[in-house]
Structure 1
């Protein structure tokens, strides 16, 4: 689907991702996970403490777990899961 996510720390975008599940044939390549991977690479650590995840859709359980393990502080989303299913 048409999903995207960014991670912001101290007012600066440190990571971005788009849904790449079908293009990569990777069921874990959701926009949120891709953004977390990008942010960790960009800042050189697996801890994203004090960072905020902005995403186009309510995160699934896998993405929420990834945000938890990376210690993202807040998550904001635009569409609920139900609304996204209607797209």
Structure 2
């Protein structure tokens, strides 16, 4: 089960995955988000920037802050946030408080939580929750099966170094 995005939505979601990859290549956690106006114009985009120690530097939170400073309440309500992963509770709350419209995500928080369990990664300090448990009035669409494997692979790359067995020395005579 999942959400089948329109071609325009898929374009924005692909950009989110590109931003997540940029974050990973910058030694950060792979998350990326794009804010799109009600008439389809890309207004802002960002990637995760938590590697510096400020764990509130999630792209969804940054876009909510940008929207609060640069958009009217009416414009915010008509906007859509596209994102590589479903909002965490902090970002869902910011989204709700700012009054942004719909969220479309590639991978759900439940999927991410399951991947972390599969890879034996310790849980994050804040429990993952679906957006609507934090902000019940927000319209949400996802996950997007066409892109989930790409997002999973990015998270796997992030966590592989922590859990890879050490390299074995070559066999004698090899």
Q: TM-score range by the shorter chain?
A: 0.7 to 0.9
Higher strand share: 1
Give the number of the structure whose alpha-carbon radius of gyration is greater: 2
Instruction: Kindly indicate whether residue 35 of structure 2 is the aligned counterpart of residue 7 of structure 1.
Output: yes
- From 105, 130, 134, give the equivalent of 1:77: 105
Matched residues, number: 84
Q: Which structure's relative contact order is higher, taking Cα pairs within 8 Å and 6+ residues apart?
A: 1
Distance 2:55 2:72 in 1: 21
| Structure that is richer in helix per residue | 2
Gaps of at least 5 residues in structure 2 are 1-28, 116-154, 156-174
Q: TM-score, normalised by structure 1?
A: 0.81
Give the TM-score normalised by structure 2.
0.44
Q: Deviations over 1:25-81 (max 9, x none)?
A: 21111121122234445xx24742211011100111111111111111101101012
2:51 paired residue number = 22
Unaligned runs of 5+ in 1: none
